[in-house]
Amino acid sequence: MMSWCQLGFQDAGSYFMEEFIYFHDFTMMIILGVLSYVVVFLVLGLLSGWVDSGFVEGQLIEFMWTIFPALILIQIAFPSLLLLYLIEDFSKSFLVCKVIGHQWYWSYEIKTESSEILASVDCYMLPREGAFGMRLLLTDEFLMLPINVPVRILVTSDDVIHSWTLPSLGIKGDAVPGRLNQLNVTLSRKAMFYGQCSEICGANHSFMPVMLMGVTSPQFFMWLDRL
């Protein structure tokens, strides 16, 4: 979860989020390099006061400042398209979790790929007295998913538009009545992950926290038996 004055991303809890952070860092390095190059030449041009006709009219320099930006954009485009393809790949999921948004709580149904319901649970926000200093983040029940297992998440709503969001996992899905949105996630470590509804859905929009715990497969089946 976020800490006070944190400027970067939260610690990644899924393999997709790790790739998102790598791609962000890679793109930022390119942006900083281009920005530094432009600022240096801008300052030199303003301070020197001279103009070289060979510099402003040369065919070679025009070719260079056309081809280099194109190569940079290609470098950014390929990993970006690869990530977009991977997050839409649902062919290898072994488990299905259906997320249903209500005013104002979340319901979860754990299913197999054959649509057999294994368990269901409703998660309501804890009042301030029982939140242990983590106001608007804790729920009475929480969702458990096994680590290193591809999970397909189906997001829908029972009333108005919600948005099921977990920043640490790099997933966000709009919950729209009468429609199913798909997400794909594979947890990479055991931890508790926190999120909230990120769509203004009504008077108690702020009171729809999301809690998801990454556990081992034996712990996950024990949780299913308890439900």
The 3 state secondary structure assigned to 46-83 is HHHCCCCHHHHHCHHHHHHHHHHHHHHHHHHHHHHHHH
Residues of the chain under the 50 pLDDT cut: none
In 3-state terms, what secondary structure has residue 14?
Answer: strand
Is the CB of residue 149 less than 8 Å from the CB of residue 134?
A: no
State the pTM of this model.
0.82
Closest CA to 214 of 157, 166, 163, 162: 166
Q: Report the top-level CATH class of 95-225.
A: mainly beta
Q: How is residue 50 written in tokens?
A: 């001279």
Is the CB of residue 204 less than 8 Å from the CB of residue 127?
A: no
pLDDT of residue 43: 85
> In 10 A of CB 10, how many CB atoms?
18
Residue 64 identity = M
Domain edges within the chain: 15-47+57-88, 95-225
pLDDT of residue 56: 61
Task: Count the alpha carbons within 13 Å of 26 in the hemisphere toward its beta carbon.
Answer: 14
pLDDT of residue 187: 93
Distances (CA, A) of 177 to 9, 57, 126, 143, 161: 31, 59, 26, 21, 7
pLDDT of residue 55: 60
Residues near 3 by beta carbon (within 8 Å), at least 6 away in sequence:
none
Residues 76-96 as b or e (16 or more Cβ within 10 Å = b): eeeeeeebeeebeeeeebebb
Strand partners, 215: 146
pLDDT tens-digit map of 152-198: 999 999 989 999 999 999 999 999 999 999 999 999 999 999 998 88
pLDDT of residue 21: 93
pLDDT of residue 45: 76
Terminal-to-terminal C-alpha distance of the chain:
26
pLDDT of residue 50: 65
* 3-state class percentages of the chain: helix first, strand second, coil last, to nearest 5: 40, 30, 30
pLDDT of residue 22: 93
pLDDT of residue 54: 59
